[in-house]
Amino acid sequence: MNIVRPTASQQSVIDPIQGDAPELGFDLRAFGRLLWRRRYVIINTVALLCIATLIILFQLRPVYSASTLMAIESRKNNIVNMDAVLTGLGTDVAAITTEIDVLRSRRLVGKLVDKLDLTKDPEFNFELREEDPLNPVNWVPEKWKRMILGDEQTLSAEAAAAQDYNLVVNNVIEALGVHNPARSYSIAVTVKSHDPEKAALLANTLAELYLTDQLEYKYEATSRASNWLNERISTLREKVRVSELAVQRFREENQLFQTHGQGLVNEQQLSEVNSSLITARTELARAEARFQQLDKLARNSIASEETLAEVLTSPLIQSLKQQESEVLRRRAELATRYGPKHPNMIKVEAELADLQTKVRLEMRKIVSSLEGEVRIARAKVRTLEDSLNGLKSENVEANRAFVQLREMEREAEASRVLLETFLTRFRETSNQEDLQQADARILSVATAPTEASFPRKGLTLLVVFFGSIATGIGIAFLLETLENGYHTLEQLTDDVNIKGLGLIPHLFGRNQSQPEQYILDKSTSSFAEAHRNVFATLMFSQDRSLAPKVIQVTSSVSGEGKSTFALCLARLLAKSGSKILLIEADLRRPTLQRRVPEIAASPTLLDCLQQNLSIKDAIARDEKSGCYLIAGGHTPEPQRYLVDEKLQQFITAARQTFDLIIIDTPPVLAVSDVILTSKLVDKTVYVVRWDKTAKESVRTGLSQLSDTGVDVAGAVISQVNVKKHVGYGYGEYGHYYGKYKAYYTN
């Protein structure tokens, strides 16, 4: 009888969803299936976190925030033109940051605590609060607290009060927020409180204290400056008086008197004598030059124009020169008429000689007069030189004393200028005490807020909602990562690079205990169709001429459904008209006779091998399906029987008789029997239990088969929970459970 071959259409229903979908870097469908599989984890995570958040939000007391806005004055009002004792605040980042530190300082916050008496406010003084019964810390007995934390140190009343005060200041600072809005010279003071009115009061009061503190600091600085200047002025007055008296006394002792030109008398006299000496020397030089020139001319009896030029100032010489000119004219006239010895000529010559003699005599008188002038000039020069030398000696001593005088005068002048400066600054500082103004001003006062700043329930719930979704997805990914079983053929193929033959659904209820009977009763069920698909994939995944005649079924460990799969497949194919032989080669834990009680009396494979019987005697026919069965039998040493030549010969002969021989073998990881039987078969089918078999077990089992050269045709995932499988979003069973459900009789 020929084996029933599945049609080509049956092969195409292995995984219609997988198809030839393009491979993407991110598989959106796989991500969607993951979310669907783990939807309850995500939903429960979101519900749990949101409910917990709601409980916490309704347990928290609302906190209100009130803000006061102040501006740093960048423009100064100069009412009078004088410098302030303290310069105004800067507008750079460092200056504004410093003012923020001032607002948050313990000194200023301490003033706020004192003014509003916050030490009596339970919100800031935790010692005044009532114990919260919901606080787990209050559930611990005081005795246990002392045992864990130790006895509290006993403090004096003053130390305890100071400690409480410091804690209140710390708590107020914690509730205080001060910041500088971007790109502005403003400072925002924000205070948080459970009472909105109190929050506004604290913010406004702190701003007022800040401005008052600025003014007080300026008043104190101005007052300190005035007192210091007053003390310095008194000291400088006395110092100036003593310095001026010392200068006058030194001037009198050293006779360093000044003229109206602000110079010393000695210096003026020295200057005048020096000028007179220069003039006298000039006059002496001029007189000596005239005298020497005339004296030389007079001695040499030279009368020339130069001589006349020197003596023209003499009236007598001028008269004699005129007479000489007249005589020379007459001589010239007579020379034209008379000879040199003529009496007239001799007379004229005598007159001319007489006149020339008189001129020379007069010139000698002038020379004598000039000689007298030279003597007088020399005497004057000597007198002036003697006076100048005397004045120089006196002036040297005076200059020495004057240097010391000038030093004393400079000291006195410096003290006088410093005194005047201090007096001026003292008057300015005294006037500033009534003109102080703060370097900041309040732009807007705080008002009682109508909505709480914390907790913001809507925003918090929204953030928690989306955060819990992300957390749930993260947990889902974590669970997927930690999951140690296979759910799809695609997972199995990707992990161990083996062909997926198909999925076998799990039976529930009364059918779970007898799947081999169910496949006969419900031959059109999805359970039976799954076996047909596995067989079709196994037979038609390769060349028809290479289709296997003998296959063995194995698994990683026991309990994965390999024996059930082998029996169900054999019965289903036999009922379809194929001649099928199922051989139970698991000689350690045989189950076939228990599953098919009708063959319990038939000899087993072990009986034939041990008693030298023909294996054909062990073949029993299943009357319900027409399948031929050989039970295995039990032995602790199956290896020597599985390699028996008789078994090999039987398998060789059976190939000619049966359409398909199925050998049920033990698990790979339990024993090595499957490696021995692999020599008798064409292909090996590996059974993996859905969601149960550890991935590492599958990897190890297939690795052992690969290392020994066993030809594994593919893997079958058994006992698939169809509802969970479809509910997880896997597509392999969409044609078994869903719109194709009407095609099957389950």
What digits encode the pLDDT tens for the residues 572-614? 999 999 999 999 999 999 999 999 999 988 899 998 888 888 8
Q: Find out whether 488 and 238 touch, Cβ atoms under 8 Å.
A: no
d(CA 621, CA 629): 6
Average pLDDT for residues 226-249, to the nearest whole number?
85
Percent of the chain beyond pLDDT 90? 38
| Total length of the chain | 746
Predicted pLDDT at 103: 94
Q: Find out whether 486 and 688 touch, Cβ atoms under 8 Å.
A: yes
| Strand partners of residue 580 | 660
- Residue 664 CA to chain centroid, in angstroms? 68
> pLDDT class for 25, splitting at 50, 70, 90?
low
Residue 313 class from Cβ within 10 Å (0-12 exposed, 13-18 middle, 19+ buried)? Answer: exposed
Predicted pLDDT at 30: 78
Is 0.95 surpassed by the pTM of this model? no
> pLDDT class for 681, splitting at 50, 70, 90?
very high
> pLDDT class for 394, splitting at 50, 70, 90?
low
Tokens (6 digits) for 343: 């009496």
Whose CA is closest to 525, among 324, 227, 741?
A: 741
- Residue 417 CA to chain centroid, in angstroms? 56
pLDDT exceeds cutoff 90 at 530: yes
Residue 111 class from Cβ within 10 Å (0-12 exposed, 13-18 middle, 19+ buried)? Answer: middle
pLDDT per residue over 439-498, tens digit each? 889 999 999 999 999 888 889 999 999 999 999 999 999 988 888 889 889 889 999 999
Is there a cis peptide before residue 455, judged by omega within 30 degrees of 0? yes
pLDDT exceeds cutoff 70 at 257: no
Give the three-state DSSP class for 647: helix
User: Higher model confidence: residue 129 or residue 191?
Assistant: 191
pLDDT per residue over 332-351, tens digit each? 887 788 778 878 788 878 88
Greatest mean pLDDT among 368-382, 434-448, 683-697 lies in 683-697
Predicted pLDDT at 314: 66
Whose CA is closest to 596, among 627, 575, 569, 572?
A: 627
Residue 336 identity: T
pLDDT per residue over 267-305, tens digit each? 677 777 788 878 888 887 887 777 777 777 666 654 444
d(CA 729, CA 578): 36
d(CA 600, CA 211): 107
| DSSP β-ladder status, 620-621 and 440-444 | unpaired
Predicted pLDDT at 23: 47
pLDDT exceeds cutoff 80 at 366: no
Predicted pLDDT at 118: 94
Q: Walk across the sheet containing 176-179 and list its strands.
A: 176-179, 186-193, 64-72, 440-444
Predicted pLDDT at 151: 59
Q: Find out whether 213 and 436 touch, Cβ atoms under 8 Å.
A: no
d(CA 45, CA 199): 38
Q: Tell me the CA end-to-end span of the chain in Å, nearest whole number.
A: 29
Q: Find out whether 274 and 266 touch, Cβ atoms under 8 Å.
A: no
For residue 324, the surrounding DSSP H or E stretch is: helix 315-334
d(CA 467, CA 42): 11
d(CA 265, CA 643): 150
Average pLDDT for residues 510-537, to the nearest whole number?
88
> pLDDT class for 142, splitting at 50, 70, 90?
low
pLDDT per residue over 605-619, tens digit each? 998 888 888 888 889
Distances (CA, A) of 350 to 42, 326, 328, 331, 416: 166, 14, 11, 11, 91
Average pLDDT taken over every residue of the chain: 82
